């Protein structure tokens, strides 16, 4: 029977029956997949130690005739974020699991980029940068120097209904110009630090975007 292989990140592991897991993964070439890992909860299962989140996994599976495939082999590769960053890494997985749905061809590269941002920053800055990157890659954000509704550049921009908007399109709470410059700077350089007030505002903006798009709000501050 044909077997497929791919590099992948584990998103979720759900106990199934007495001894198995159903796993949700983001494959590099196959996108989001659901696989049955038979016997993976048995003490002697070779899957047991390998099926870990926050690592690059190398999977072999047999596709199902209808729907779910069956895991045949898994090798655990490099750790994407170290142990000190693992709670934040799991939050990135949770956001990715909401954004990328079954059959979606994307997700692996986006989550890898988010892990990279987290791994090179403090846990809090890194998680905000990682989630921002996932949301941006998914087209839910725009640049912070333009109105996301009409596209006009303006000195004064506001945060309204989880979007950066000009006065005409929304008004609302004024976005501090320092924050609007600092966010793109933090995304490209691990050396940039946000002030405590800017971090709090950025976390709130992220929560607003997650909520607006029906993604479970997370513990970002
Ligand atoms: Zn506008």
pLDDT in tens, 57-100: 999 999 988 779 999 999 999 999 998 999 999 999 999 999 99
Low-confidence winner among 12-26, 52-66, 205-219 (lowest mean pLDDT) = 205-219
What spacing in Å lies between the alpha carbon of 149 and ligand 1's midpoint? 5
Percent of the chain at pLDDT > 90 equals 86
Q: Are residues 47 and 29 in the same domain?
A: yes
What spacing in Å lies between the alpha carbon of 109 and ligand 1's midpoint? 32
Query: Would the pLDDT of 220 be above 60?
Result: no
Instruction: Specify the pLDDT at position 221.
Output: 44
What CA–CA distance (Å, rounded) separates 133 from 48? Answer: 31
- Domain termination residue (choose one: 79, 96, 117): 79
Q: Are residues 27 and 104 in the same domain?
A: no
What spacing in Å lies between the alpha carbon of 144 and ligand 1's midpoint? 12
- Domain termination residue (choose one: 59, 79, 99): 79
Q: Are residues 94 and 115 in the same domain?
A: yes
Whether 169 is in a domain gets the answer no
Q: How far is CA 196 from CA 87, 140, 157, 193, 203, in A?
A: 21, 25, 21, 9, 11
What spacing in Å lies between the alpha carbon of 83 and ligand 1's midpoint? 43
- Domain termination residue (choose one: 48, 79, 110): 79
Whether 200 is in a domain gets the answer yes
Domain coverage including residue 36 = 4-79
What digits encode the pLDDT tens for the residues 92-128? 999 999 999 988 899 999 999 999 999 999 999 999 9
Query: How many domains, the chain?
Result: 2
What spacing in Å lies between the alpha carbon of 209 and ligand 1's midpoint? 18
């Amino acid at each position: 029977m044909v077997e497929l292989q791919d590099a992948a990140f584990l998103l979720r592991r759900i106990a199934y029956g007495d001894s198995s897991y159903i796993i949700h993964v983001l494959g590099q070439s196959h996108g989001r997949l659901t696989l049955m890992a038979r016997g993976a909860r048995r003490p002697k299962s070779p899957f047991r130690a390998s099926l870990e989140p926050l690592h690059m996994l190398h999977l072999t599976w047999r596709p199902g005739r209808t729907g779910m495939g069956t895991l045949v082999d898994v090798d655990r590769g490099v750790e994407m974020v170290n142990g000190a960053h693992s709670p934040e890494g799991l939050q990135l997985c949770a956001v990715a699991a909401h954004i990328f749905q079954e059959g979606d061809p994307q997700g692996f590269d986006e989550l890898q980029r988010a892990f990279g941002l987290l791994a090179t920053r403090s846990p809090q800055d890194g998680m905000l940068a990682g989630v921002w990157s996932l949301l941006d890659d998914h087209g839910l954000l725009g640049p912070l120097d333009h109105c996301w509704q009409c596209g006009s550049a303006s000195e004064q921009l506001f945060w309204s209904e989880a979007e950066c908007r000009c006065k005409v399109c929304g008004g609302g709470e004024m976005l501090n110009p320092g924050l609007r410059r600092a966010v793109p700077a933090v995304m490209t350089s691990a050396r940039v630090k946000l002030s405590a007030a800017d971090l709090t505002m950025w976390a709130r903006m992220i929560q607003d975007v997650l909520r607006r798009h029906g993604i479970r709000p997370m513990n970002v501050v």
